Amino acid sequence: MNPVAVLKRQLQKRCLPCYIVDRDPFIFYAYWFDFYARLEDFTRRFAGKKRVFGVFQFGWHYETEERQARLEREVKEALRRIPQLEVRFLANSPVEETGVRKLGFPVVYCHQNAFLEEGNYRLSLNDKEFDAVYVARITPFKRHELAAELDSLLLVGDYSGAEQAFALDALKKQKPAAVWKRYVPHRSIADEIGRARVGLCLSAEEGAMFVSAEYMLCGLPVVSTRNLGGRDGLLPEPYRLRPDDSAANVAKCVASLAAARFEPAQIRSAFLAAARPHREKLIALLNDIYAGCGRPAPVTPENFRRYCPHKLGLRCGFLPLLYLQGLCRSIGR
């Protein structure tokens, strides 16, 4: 293994999965699932702090009553263990926002896909090689079978060892002309997306699905099936079509969007316009925290990225920033 990768993995073992925004007041971002999975470590690390503000995203949706009941139990346990913790939730859909608010927790509809760094994605003006691209791990919930009627398809995504048999079978069910790339570095993902005319989002249930936004930042329209998770909130029409859950209808929608020949720059601009109010909501949320601690409001649209990095610094290759032992450090401050 690459020595840098080995060092990074060792550091990650000693770190907690969060991004520190500030230490006075102490504000951090985290996915709720990651935070709760390491609750014991966070409890130990926050011992002695008077106030801690956690701004949490949802990696998987909380739109159903069953999942909301689970969230309620987990939050109550976390607050029992860390009474100085003050939670703020960022919901990926109005349904999710309403459900979390009914539980009595502070929440705002503030879509995770708004926090992609658009400078990481460039428009592709090259000739297209494929009608559609699907960037997704090959696993059952991604429903690759819905792409099986596409004559011109690029698949990008790996599979786990436990799902190898499923993945190989799913690939065999695609048409012979389909091309699969198993490993693509994140820095090259825009190049792969740019080889196609249309992006695919075929899961029925997950989170907000970052790649749905990555397609649009690269100038691609999107075929997105009905889903729980909120991804459609930042997929403006007419650059999105919603097919029925059939391979034939997915292929029909791809053909329609591919024939439309939308200007890539218009798609990107429409996405950024849809994302802007969500960025403004996070700015307001952070400034409210500062104001409640007697501090001036420091976050502005001009310095936004200082406080809100790409994907809020979570699960995207940054070193985790809260050490279990030793000193804390943050990036970009």
Mean pLDDT of 310-319: 76
C-alpha closest to that of 254 among 329, 330, 154: 154
Rounded-to-integer distance, Cα 202 and Cα 225, Å: 5
Domain boundaries, the chain: 3-109+315-323, 121-270
Confidence at residue 223, expressed as pLDDT on a 0 to 100 scale: 98
More confident residue, 306 or 8: 306
What is the value of pTM for the model shown? 0.91
210-220 pLDDT per residue, tens? 999 999 999 99
Confidence at residue 330, expressed as pLDDT on a 0 to 100 scale: 36
83-130 pLDDT per residue, tens? 999 999 999 999 999 999 999 999 999 999 999 999 999 997 778 999
pLDDT band at 4 (very low <50, low <70, confident <90, very high): low
Q: Distance between terminal CA atoms of the chain?
A: 31
Tell me which fold the domain 121-270 belongs to.
Rossmann fold (3.40.50)
| Rounded alpha-carbon distances, angstroms, from residue 34 to 16, 81, 124, 306 | 9, 16, 34, 23
Evaluate if residue 10 carries a pLDDT over 90.
no
pLDDT band at 7 (very low <50, low <70, confident <90, very high): low
pLDDT band at 327 (very low <50, low <70, confident <90, very high): very low
Confidence at residue 58, expressed as pLDDT on a 0 to 100 scale: 97
Averaged confidence pLDDT in the chain: 92
